[in-house]
A and B are shown apart, each in its own frame.
Chain A
Amino acid sequence: MRRATALLGLLAALAFAAPAAAQEPDARPRVALPPAEGEFRPGLGVETSHELGDPLGRPLSGEELDRAVAEVAADIRCPKCQALSIADSGAASAQAMRAEARSLLSQGYTREQVVGYFEQRYGEFVLLQPRARGLNLLVWAAPAGIVLLGGLLVVVRLRQRRRSADEGLDTYLRQVEQETAT
């Protein structure tokens, strides 16, 4: 009963004051660019070491940093888009994630730590290549398995055909029989 009244109150709030109805669609795209690296205000945001532990690598910079950022970004799915990585996407959240990856890599976190951080927060879904463990091994082993299995079939077939070609005349006669029978 108490729950029902409380719920009614909350529902009423929804029914009577909907700013959605009043809001004019504004024409300006309101997507703010994330600030470039190093512009974060000190002391605000999240405390990196608290979230990720200590960096396990050495700080990167310059071209090496660019390459590492590109590598990490190509493996992370842009959360707002479909099938695109944060390297490819221009969406604001993808830009923010690239900036975060850059900042972490420049502080000495390893690629694996950065990728692991995104995975820990967004779930396995954010990895564009599933980790090769457990059931996921299926998706990694399948292509090679199919090529090997198919290759085996091709070899067996060639063997068989060569043997049967030796008895070629027999087969030919059998086939003529069959075709005339239908």
Chain B
Amino acid sequence: MTSALGQGFVLLGLIAAGFGAAFGYIAGVKRSAAGLRLTRRLALLFAVAMVGASAVMWYALLSHDFSVSYVAQVGSLATPLHITIFSLWSSLEGSILFWGLILGLYIAAAATFQRRGHEDYLAYTLATLLGIGAFFTFLIASVADPFAPTAPPVPVDGPGPNPLLQNHLLMAIHPPMLYLGYVGMSVPFAMAVAALLRGQLGATWLRPMRRWLLVPTSFLTAGIMLGGWWSYEVLGWGGYWAWDPVENASFLPWLTGIAALHSGIVQQRRGTLKAWTVILIMITFLLTILGTFLTRSGVVNSVHSFTQSPIGPVFLGFLGLCAAAVVVLLALRIDTLVSEPSNERLVSREGAFLLNNLLFVSLMFTVLVGTIYPIVAESLRGVKVSVGEPYFNRMAVPLFAGLLLLMGVGPALPWGGSDPKLVRRALVRPLPAAAVGLAVALLLGARSAPVLIVSAFAGFALWVTADQGLRPIRARPRRQGGRGPLAAVLVAPDRLGAYVVHLGVLITFVAVAVSSTFQREAESTLRAGDTLRLGGYEMTFRGAERVQEPHLIRHQAEVEVSTNGRSRGVLYPSLNIYPNQREPIGTPAVRTSAGHDLYLTLMNVGSDGSIGLRAITTPLVAWIWIGVVVMVLGTALCLIPTAAERRATTPRAVPDLAASPAGGGR
């Protein structure tokens, strides 16, 4: 019964998406208002169908209806309520359904908010989105059907979701964030397709596109950060980023998405790089599909991946189809996007943007090559090889350092850069800040060249970021005639937002550099009363106890932490044993402070009551997460409409002022 209802909704979604894609395309060709209206209705219907299907699945999960195959696979009577709710995305089929739900919501949003000033493109945009929707509903209806009835006899209980996913609440928000980022990239992609089909790319396209690109990029940022945090809090190895193939897969579209955001700025200011921005957006979308394929097909070794399934070949087919469509469309239509003439120099704001794009794209290629090289080697040499952390660190660190340098130099440089005196002054003024950065690093005991270089670059960039970000507020008395700082900011919130994002990036950057360089660890076997010492901490093992919980057995060690003989509290690292899983899973205990984290992992519990304890101190870890929060806040600022846009969207619609080449005067 439940199965049939869910499958009905999926089928409804498939029909709505299929017809919507066809009608939308025809409406686009014929520029038919009635056709567009129909397409919008079908888009909303698709969203309703996806919400319905997900609601049915949640109902089945919560009512422990084991006649639904997905529930039989991930459900369990012993699983706590909140984990049951999250188990919608804890396994392959459910995660694809969840993907469909998010796509439905994005499509509904695009159909609703995209009306004004975008009608030229909207029919093609919706047609493309619904085409993607048709593929995913097809997946849900065929090879990844979560609603398939369980083969009788229907079990009375199930195994429960993967224990790693039960271990921490972060698992509740990490996948949705990542999916919101991944799926959201479909919207700018669809808009890029529409622009190519229309053969024009003006300001009415660019402003909304930037917004639709900012939102998923920001979700992706948050999703990647939460994944790192989850890895740190749950996996117990003391790190947050291992260059695991699935982590890389989420990193790839993030890199090109950010490149596209930057090239969009040049397009907005100078009317150049139009075709390039479109290409970047299309690559970003293809990379989200590639990433999903890598995660779900079981072709790579990863801690995050789902098990091997028939979904792989289907997904690869879809990736091939999308790639072919993109290449053909670009080849046919790219010459319709003509850049405005402009004189460009390398040492100018435009030049910095070009280099920024070069570095982001190179970074993406590097990570891509490293991630799929094991597959290449196995196909051509028949040998299994690994490409791991040492390789990626060695390759990516110089590129990141280059980006950090550009983050300081770029915003300091004037557009055009034709006046050498102006250029020289812009580059000399932040130098004292770079010296301060270097001095701070030296004082803190850093001696390695990469850390010193990063510190100097960071000092430079911090000064430029603050200088540029605060400029509208400082310039206020002259320009805004004495209005408050808030009003000054609100003229162009995206400008301040952009520098807030840069500030967040700087914080995260420095925190990553410091935390990965100055990590210390110690490891020992302890009997009750024994003490392990590390970096001023004394960790005394008080005893271990065995706790029986409904869905797991926890071995928990009591470790008293003190510094200089003064107690700083008690930490409880533990090893969890799930009845259906053989390997015990450790949950580290972390003591976080502004300066550094103390991280305790229980390695094992001996039959004689002794424990193996591993202690790690890592400086500035908390600042990695704080930096990402700052980035997300900055993005939110960017989403506030500028004064010009607010004027443009008052009922008496006037032409988009922000669009004129001189737009905003910033």
Q: Which residue of A lies closest to B370 (CB)?
A: A139
B572 on interface, CB distance cutoff 8 Å: no
For residue B354, CB closer than 8 A to chain A, the reply is yes
Task: Tell me whether A88 and B577 are in contact (CB under 8 A).
Answer: no
Q: Is the CB of A179 within 8 A of B200?
A: yes
Contact B238 A83 (CB under 8 A): no
Q: Does A143 contact B (CB under 8 A)?
A: yes
Contact of A124 among B384, B399, B555, B582 (CB under 8 A): B384
Q: Do A142 and B369 touch (CB < 8 A)? A: yes
Interface residues of B in 185-243 (CB under 8 A from A): 198-200, 236-239, 242-243
Q: Does A57 contact B (CB under 8 A)?
A: no
Q: Which of B389-397, B464-472, B503-511 contacts A (4 or more CB under 8 A)?
A: B389-397
CB of A129 closer than 8 Å to a CB of B: yes
| CA gap between A158 and B377 in the complex, in Å | 38
1/0 per position for B354-397, CB-CB distance to A under 8 A?
Answer: 11001101100110011001001100110111111111001100
Interface string of A26-65 (1 = CB under 8 A from B): 0111011100000000000000000000000000000000
A92 near B604 with CB under 8 A, answer yes
CB within 8 Å for A29 and B577 given contacts A125-B384, A135-B377, A162-B343: yes
Q: Given A143-B366, A143-B369, A165-B343, do A83 and B242 touch, yes or no (CB 8 Å)?
A: yes
A100 within 8 A of partner (CB):
no
For B301, the chain A residues whose CB sits under 8 A away are 82-83
Contact across chains for B575 and A29 when beta carbons are under 8 A apart: yes
Given contacts A83-B303, A134-B381, contact A143 B362 (CB under 8 A): yes
Q: How far is the CB of A176 from chain B (nearest CB, A)?
A: 10
Distance in angstroms between the alpha carbons of A27 and B554 in the assembled complex: 9
Q: State in angstroms the CA–CA spacing of A33 and B602 once bound together.
A: 12
Complex CA–CA separation, A77 to B341 (angstroms):
52
Write the B225-269 contact mask toward A (1 if CB under 8 angstroms, else 0): 000000000001111001111000000000000000000000000
* Number of residues of chain B lying within 8 A (CB) of chain A: 70
| Segment at the interface with A among B494-502, B529-537, B563-571, B606-614 | B606-614
Total cross-chain contacts (CB, 8 A): 168
Whether A182 and B387, one on each chain, are in contact in the complex, defined by CB atoms closer than 8 angstroms, is no
Q: Please tell me which stretch of A1-9, A11-19, A103-111, A144-152 contacts chain B, meaning at least 4 of its Cβ atoms lie within 8 angstroms of it.
A: A144-152
Q: Is A74 an interface residue (CB 8 A)?
A: yes
B344 CB–A CB distance under 8 Å: yes
Q: Is the CB of A130 within 8 A of B391?
A: yes
Contacts of A165 in B (CB 8 A): 341-344
Q: Does chain A have a CB within 8 A of B586?
A: yes
Q: A33-B606, A82-B303, A158-B344 are in contact. Are A139 and B387 (CB under 8 A)?
A: yes
Chain A residue numbers with a CB within 8 Å of B319 are none
How near does chain A come to B391, taking the closest CB pair, in angstroms? Answer: 5
Interchain CB contact under 8 A, B584 and A29: yes
Q: Which of B236, B243, B387 has the most CB of A within 10 A?
A: B387
In the complex, the chain B residue whose C-beta lies closest to that of A25 is B579
Q: Tell whether B340 is near chain A: CB-to-CB under 8 Å.
A: yes
Q: Is B386 a contact of A29 with CB atoms below 8 Å? A: no
Which residues of chain B are within 8 angstroms of A95 by Cβ–Cβ distance? 603
Task: Verify A82–B244 contact, CB threshold 8 A.
Answer: yes
Judge whether B389 and A128 touch: CB under 8 Å.
yes
User: Known: A83-B302, A168-B341. Contact between A88 and B237, CB under 8 A?
Assistant: yes
CB of B525 closer than 8 Å to a CB of A: yes
Complex Cα spacing A175 to B271, Å? 12
Using known A-B contacts A89-B237, A125-B384, determine if residue A83 contacts B243 with beta carbons closer than 8 Å: yes
Q: Say yes or no: A178-B385 contact (C-beta < 8 A), given A81-B303, A130-B377.
A: no
- Which chain A residue lies CB-closest to B198? A182
Q: Is A126 an interface residue (CB 8 A)?
A: yes
User: Of A29, A123, A138, which is in contact with the most chain B CB atoms at under 10 Å from its CB?
Assistant: A29
Contacts of A33 in B (CB 8 A): 525, 603-604, 606, 612
C-alpha spacing A135/B336, complex, angstroms: 41
Complex CA gap A38/B238 in Å reads 27
B8 at the interface (CB under 8 A from A): no
Contact A90 B237 (CB under 8 A): yes
A90 touches B236 (CB 8 A): yes
**A127 contacts chain B at the CB level, 8 A cutoff:** yes
With the chains together, A81 CA to B395 CA distance in Å? 23
Min CB gap A29→B, angstroms: 4
- In this assembly, does B338 line the interface, its C-beta being within 8 Å of a C-beta of chain A? yes
Q: Which residues of B contact A158 (CB under 8 A)?
A: 344-346, 351, 354
Contact A27 B386 (CB under 8 A): no
Per the bound structure, the CA–CA distance linking A27 and B576 in Å amounts to 9
Task: Give the nearest-CB partner of B202 in chain A.
Answer: A179
A residues in contact with B336, CB < 8 Å:
178, 182
Tell me the complex Cα distance, A90–B585, Å.
Answer: 11
> Which residue of chain A lies nearest to B614 when distances are taken between CB atoms in the complex?
A90
| B26 touches A (CB below 8 Å) | no
A-B contact sample (14 more), CB < 8 A, given A25-B579, A88-B242, A128-B387: A85-B388, A88-B238, A128-B391, A129-B394, A143-B399, A146-B366, A150-B362, A151-B358, A155-B346, A157-B354, A161-B341, A162-B343, A164-B341, A168-B341
A-B residue pairs, 10 tightest by C-beta: A128-B388, A83-B244, A29-B584, A165-B343, A143-B366, A82-B303, A168-B341, A125-B384, A171-B341, A139-B373
